[in-house]
Structure formats: C-alpha cells, structure tokens
Structure 1
Amino acid sequence: MSTSAVSERPVGEPVPNWVARPRPAREPMVGHYCRLEPVDVERHGAALYAAFRQTPEDADWTYMFAGPFPDEASYLTHARAMQASEDPQHFAVIDLASGQAVGTLSSMRIDPANGVMEVGNVAYSDLLKRTPAATEAQYLLMCRAFDQLGYRRYEWKCDSLNGPSRAAALRLGFQFEGIFRQAVVYKGRNRDTAWFSIVDGEWPAVREAMTQWLAPHNFDEAGRQRRRLSDLIAAVRPG
C-alpha cells in the first residue's frame, strides 16, 4: 500500500501540544451556597446518615451501587470506604447556611493521560435536592475539571431507567451520547447505561449559564428561581 493511500485515510483533528493533565487534588472547593470537602467519617458520617434518613423507604439508593443502609453503623462502614478511595474521590456537600453535610458526589474514572473524568456516586438527601447548593456542587466539580486542570471531557453516566438522573444531566448542560446495553450487573440486575458528556469547547457556554443561574439575583425573596437553568443554557449554547 502506498504512502499516499495511507495519508488519505480520515483521522481526528490534531490536538497540538497536548500533555497529560494533573490528577485532581483532594482539596475542598467553596462556592456561595455550599462547600465540597473530602469525605471524612469523623466529620461527616453521622450528619450524612441523618440527612439520608429524611428520605422515606430508602428510595434514593435504588439506582446506586451501594445502599440502602439499615443502620448508622452500616452507613459509616460505607463512608470509611469512601474516605479511603483514591478513585473515586468522594466529597461531602456542606450546606453553608446550616454547616451540615447533606449529600455526597465524586470525581471518578480519572484519566489524566486523555483529560477525561466522570462525576458519579451522586447521593443527595432531601435537605439538598432542588436547592442552589445542589447545582453549585456540580458546578464546582466542573470548574475543577475544566478551568483548574484543563481536562477535555467530563462525563455523566447512569442507569438508563433512572429518569431523574437523565433529566438532571440534561438540565446541567450534558449532551446525551447513547445507551451502552448490558453494560453492568449490579444488585443482581442488568443495567443499560446512559452516557452523557460535556467537552471543553462546550464548557464556556455551560459555565456562563450556570454562573447566571447561581447568581443571588436569580432567586426571589422566597428562594424561587427567576429563570430556569435549562433555558439559560439553551440561550447561550451555539446552534
């Protein structure tokens, strides 16, 4: 085969001067509404268990690999494993108004060579859901990936049957990429996995929309949003 024939094959766009990106540090992140701290059983364990007990019938653990937890001791065992993990890196979400840990999420499948990471293990208690802090926690991890570390791709994956998680990904600006069929077996059942991502070229528009949504003036005296995040993202996203 001639050299010219080989050179005519389609290839991806060049990525000039690419070098492996740093691994994210296990350091706190602070916003207006919340602070992310590496999970620490002594500092966060009891408060997290108490927060998760607000949800009746342990429904929040249906699509999680872990849980539900029948008692505090079993949750603290889980929290110790989170604390010891290097990947995923688990963070407790601290509500700045109350000072309490009210949920967890993680950076995971961290791939510095290719500049890719995933947000996962998102466990929000009823004290955190549908609050500005819930969105800001996601925003802080995105900022670390793209702005601080220069990663190229940020992923969200979930059980394809998990409607709330899929809706949350789209609201936060992720693009749906498809379904990986029979990707995982967990809790004795099949999981088809829905994949979503944000890539670095899309991040400036998503960041602008999230910054606008999180601004204090976007909420009225009762804490109700004036503009929806999905509308703000649609307004700034090209095309």
Structure 2
Amino acid sequence: MRADWDALAQPAEQISTGQWVGLPVEGWTSAASPPRQVLTGSHGRVEPLDAERHGAQLYEALHQMAGGANWTYLSHGPFSSLEDWQTWMQANAGREDPQFYAIVDARDDVAIGLCSYLCIEPADGCIEVGFLNFSPRLQRSRLATEAMYLMMRNAFELGYRRYEWKCDAQNTPSVKAALRLGFTFEGLFRQARTNKGRNRDTAWFSILDHEWPQRRRALELWLADANFDAQGRQLRSLSEFAAEAAA
C-alpha cells in the first residue's frame, strides 16, 4: 500500500512549520471552460451533441447490441423508442456539465458514438471524460482511439492539469481501454454509488499535464497512416509506442 502511495504522490517540500506540502504551481490561474466546438481528426469528428442532427443516427447505432450490452454500465438507457431517446437528447444536449459530444465517422458523416466532458473544474484544472457509448461499428476502431485522443488534446490545450477517466470496476473493457490509452490507475472507490439498483465500485484513472507529451507522442505514432497496412490493420500496437516514448 505504501509503495503505491509513494509512486502516485506528486513532489512536495517541507515548509517552516516542519509540515510537507505540495510544490507551488507556478503561474497557475485557471483552465478554460471547454467551448462547444468541433474537434476534427483524420477519420472523424467529435461534434457538440445536437438532438436534431445526431438523434436518429445515434439511436440506430447504439441500439444494436444484444441485450443492450453497451448500456449496462451507464446510468441511463437503453431506450425503448426513438421518441424516448429524443426526449433524453433534448434534455441533455445543451448541458454544460456534462457536456455531450457525438463521434461522427468522416466516411459517411454518420454519428456512431457518444462521449462527454464532465466534472469540469477549471479553477482546479481538472476535467473528466465519460458517458462513453460506442456502437459496434466504433468499438475497437481507429476512430475510437482518435476520438479519445482529440478529447485529451483539447483538454490539455485548454490548460487542464488533470484528465480523469472513471468507470465501474466490473467494466473490464473500459478498464483495459483506460490503461491502453495511457491512464494511470489510482485506486477503487468502494461502494461509490448505486447504478440501476446494483452496487458500483468506481475505478479511478488519470493523465497529468506533465505526462501528456509522452502519451500524445505514442498516440500520434499509433494513429499515423504509416502504422496501418492497406487493409487498415495496425502494424504496431499502441503499447509498443508507449513503451518507446517512456524509454
């Protein structure tokens, strides 16, 4: 337990009282609140959620998995009708926190996934990515990684010092995705909440601003066209690039 604490704790210094405190954050004022803007990549876009523009496309894309498996760990859904989904969209699309986005495939301009910024704290420089819901078409795709990269890059460019990922501890795909993308596992919040009548232990992950340049390099090398063959298959894994960037 102590080893984990020492590995995760940020540098500190001793003050005149003999107490240890965190180092000064030189020049810190605040991060910027995320503006509602389109984040454009090579394979798709992350667009501010619009009920009229994205509603029907997302309803179709996100209601394909047997038993609604992609909704299990979310606090909402699945929805029994397009009308019910549109009602949820209209109530949430304009919110500032969480601030929702659609992930749009550039090949046909169809929305195939949902994500958001949430727990947005500009004064503390902390922001979370969440409410992730990827359709079968988006899952394990190059666009899925690109969308997460675009969200990360935007957050750090806005001045955030800490970028969080939290998920149900039983959600193994989400845990693996966080680790693959370069997040550090910080621990479990046991019995943090209930979700759809069941206990939820929440796993916490983060990337810090001084870690971002290394993570960014690995992601950009993995996303580059040179890393994919003519059939769109990766030549090297993201973990390989991450290991090289860390060396």
The aligned residue for residue 9 of structure 2 is none
For normalisation by structure 2, the TM-score amounts to 0.92
2:242 to 225, 230, 233: 233
Deviation at 1:5, TM superposition (A): 8.4
Counterparts of 1:61-80 in structure 2 under 5 Å? 61-80=71-90
Q: Distance in 2 between matches of 1:77 and 1:171?
A: 35
The aligned residue for residue 190 of structure 1 is 199
Gapped regions of structure 2 (runs ≥ 5)? 1-13
Counterparts of 1:112-151 in structure 2 under 5 Å? 112-146=122-156, 148-151=157-160
SS class of match (1:102) = strand
Q: Distance in 2 between matches of 1:187 and 1:234?
A: 39
1:177 is the counterpart of 2:189? no
Deviation at 1:29, TM superposition (A): 0.6
The aligned residue for residue 56 of structure 2 is 46
| Alignment RMSD | 1.3
1:94 is the counterpart of 2:104? yes
Deviation at 1:234, TM superposition (A): 1.9
| Matching residue's letter, 1:135 | T
Counterparts of 1:209-224 in structure 2 under 5 Å? 209-224=218-233
Runs of at least 4 residues off by over 2 Å: 4-7
SS class of match (1:11) = strand
Tell whether the 8 Å contact from 2:73 to 2:195 is kept in structure 1 after alignment.
no
SS class of match (1:145) = helix
SS class of match (1:179) = strand
Gapped regions of structure 1 (runs ≥ 5)? none
Counterparts of 1:24-63 in structure 2 under 5 Å? 24-63=34-73
SS class of match (1:138) = helix
Using the aligned pairs only, state the percent identity: 50
The aligned residue for residue 6 of structure 2 is none
| Matching residue's letter, 1:123 | N
The aligned residue for residue 4 of structure 2 is none
Q: What is the number of residues matched between the two proteins?
A: 234
